[in-house]
Amino acid sequence: MGLYSKYIFPRMINLIMSSGQMKKARVSALANVSGDVFEIGFGTGLNLPHYPAGVKKIVTADPNPGMAQLARRQIAESGIEVDLRILNGESLPIEDNSFDSVVCTWTLCSIPNVGQALREIRRIMRPEGRFYFVEHGLADDPGVRKWQNRLTPLQRKIGDGCHFNRNIKELIADQGFRFEKLDNFYMKKAPRVAGYMYQGIAVKA
Ligand SMILES: C[S@@+](CC[C@H](N)C(=O)[O-])C[C@H]1O[C@@H](n2cnc3c(N)ncnc32)[C@H](O)[C@@H]1O
């Protein structure tokens, strides 16, 4: 892992992803999370203040140790016990059917083999488990899509693997999920190429 990914990118993410509108999306995405919780792409721990009061412990996966280093500060302030694991979401050393809730926020854009990661998420969910997500991705507007496709090669470099043009709905549905809830919207203060959101809850189909 290069110096940019380990030291600079986590600090950028910690700043950019702390905006008021992102906090609002985190609050609504996590409102019903309960039981045994797994968070994939934990980043710098920005979801921690927004878990419902009933959540006392979570297990997390993120392959970037630079993210984990910043996350430790959030963890210390959170009152939630966090089992912080440096792991690639494409291969989780976790038993099948282990979690009631799996959480993923603004991460499916960056995982190289995102289909494999979604299969892992589904595998570790209990039969009645729920997958809570808020992600940016491919827009509904052809004009925005055109720019998303054009700018993704550059964004992958700046954003440490991030794609603007992933169809999050299709990617999730293709791995054997059905949607209990799915909202699409543009985040108001974000550039439209990065601001088309998919927020919802998916269960095993
Ligand atoms: C834009 S950040 C979002 C961080 C956090 N989820 C949040 O909402 O603030 C994307 C995160 O995905 C993580 N990530 C990238 N590849 C991954 C993988 N293969 N498995 C799990 N997480 C990954 C990155 O390390 C980074 O922390």
Residue 1 has pLDDT above 90, yes or no: no
Residues 165 and 151: their CA atoms lie apart, in Å, by 9
Residue nearest to atom 16 of ligand 1 (CA): 111
pLDDT of 40-97, one tens digit each?
999 999 999 999 999 999 999 999 999 999 999 999 999 999 999 999 999 999 999 9
Query: Could you identify the atom of ligand 1 that is nearest to the CA of residue 106?
Result: 3
pLDDT of 7-46, one tens digit each?
999 999 999 999 999 999 999 999 999 999 999 999 999 9
Please report the domains of the chain, with CATH numbers, ordered by start residue: 3-204 (3.40.50.150)
Residue nearest to atom 26 of ligand 1 (CA): 43
pLDDT of 115-149, one tens digit each?
999 999 999 999 999 999 999 999 999 999 999 99
Q: What's the gap in Å between 91 CA and the centre of ligand 1? A: 14
Report how far apart, in Å, the C-alpha atoms of 46 and of each of 34, 86, 139 are.
Answer: 18, 17, 25
Residues 201 and 129: their CA atoms lie apart, in Å, by 10
Residue nearest to atom 25 of ligand 1 (CA): 64
